[in-house]
Amino acid sequence: MVSKKTSRSSIKAKSATKSVAVKKKAVKQVAPKVAKSSIQASGAKTRVTSKALSKSVKNADVDLMFEIAAETFRVMSAPMRLKIINSLCSEEKNVGQLLDEIDTTQPNMSQHLNTLFKAKILGRRREGVQIYYRIINDRVVTLCRAICTQIAIDSDIAHD
């Protein structure tokens, strides 16, 4: 008799463009299956307890949290993006204003702005031919300030 092994499913965040709510719903749908298949794979003939199921869901939520955090750090890992976030902390600005403050080319600036927009860190609005960008994720600003302030303190670098 051939027995079929059940492998554990890994939960991955596909991209920053999907909403967190959709990801959480998927985690909660998959987690019970993971818990059940884990018990079946071990050969145990016990029923899935609510405690095991709850632990599986909590582990999946923690995994999702780390994946979202890693994606946020990936998006923020470019110094140019940190400069853009810093520049937009006080007010919204258009691309021309950002280029006046940050030394880069217009195509490079647009690419970084688009990445931050897709990651739901920046919002944008059009006014005539100008596009204005603003911070919509305050947690990212708080994180940037905390890290940059600590680095400045540790390195004796002047920080605004």
Cα 25 to Cα 28, 30, 63, distances in angstroms: 5, 9, 14
Helix (H) or strand (E) segment spanning residue 81: helix 79-88
HEC profile for 86-109? HHHCCCCEEHHHHHHHCCCCHHHH
154 has a pLDDT exceeding 60? yes
Tens-place pLDDT, residues 89-146: 989 999 999 999 999 999 999 999 999 999 999 999 999 999 999 999 999 999 988 9
Domains in the chain, CATH or no CATH each: 20-75 (no CATH), 79-155 (1.10.10.10)
Residue 135 DSSP symbol: E
Identity of the residue numbered 139:
R
Percentage of residues in the chain having pLDDT higher than 70: 64
**Cα 33 from Cα 14, distance rounded (Å):** 20
Q: What is the pTM of this model?
A: 0.61
- The per-residue DSSP string of 5-38 comes to PPPPPPP----TTS-HHHHHHHHHHHHHHHHHHH
Cα 102 to Cα 80, 105, 115, 132, distances in angstroms: 8, 9, 17, 16
pLDDT of residue 26: 45
- What is the pLDDT averaged over residues 52-57? 68
